[in-house]
Amino acid sequence: MKTLVIVTHPNLETSVINKRWVEELNKYPEKYTVHELHKVYPDGNIDAEKEQQLIETHGNLVLQFPIYWFNCPPLLKKWLDDVFAYGWAYGSKGDKLKNRKAALAVSAGIRKEDYSEAGRYRYTLDHLLSPFETSFRYCKADYRSFFAFYGKESESGENLPGEEIESSASELEKSAQDYVNFIDSL
């Protein structure tokens, strides 16, 4: 079955990393369904039943997003709240995510060394993304970790909101290929 990639980026057109990842995934429509939440739900009103059906018709599930305030964009949080409902994702009869391979793909505008216990922010991405892992595990999904592209921010607040630091073409290409390989290895 195809992998469903839920892309949540409020301005994908100006993105560098997430836009490039989507372009790469779109080269393989037989393997991946790219579902852009901001494009489908510009008003933020999520059709939970439609989203649940979309998940059910796919195999693996990947959530792709830029790190926002050390978390996910608000629309993805709303999507999780609405779609991962009692009786569907969890509860005595909620088994639709059970054993489904799930993973994250994140772009982080901050340097990798700043996401460490000794770094500027004192927490790793593993730690910051643990609520996603815990949620997947709570729903009995088979959480497979995350793929990350780190940025180059050298001073706090250097990156403009919603934008990513420009990377070299070779870094972007390697990241896009590594991302596809990550998803294929789930």
pLDDT of 163: 44
Secondary structure of residue 95 in the 3-state scheme: coil
Q: Which residue has the higher pLDDT, 169 or 50?
A: 50
CB contact at 8 A, 102 and 144: yes
Q: How many CA atoms lie within 13 A of 164 on its CB side?
A: 28
Query: pLDDT tens for residues 160-182?
Result: 444 444 557 888 999 999 999 99
Q: Which amino acid is at 7?
A: V
pLDDT of 153: 61
Please give the model's pTM, rounded to 2 decimal places: 0.93
Q: Which residue has the higher pLDDT, 141 or 155?
A: 141
Domains defined along the chain, listed by start: 3-185 (3.40.50.360)
Query: pLDDT tens for residues 79-118?
Result: 999 999 999 999 999 999 999 999 999 999 889 999 999 9
pLDDT of 168: 75
Q: What are phi and psi of 62, to 5 degrees?
A: -125, 130
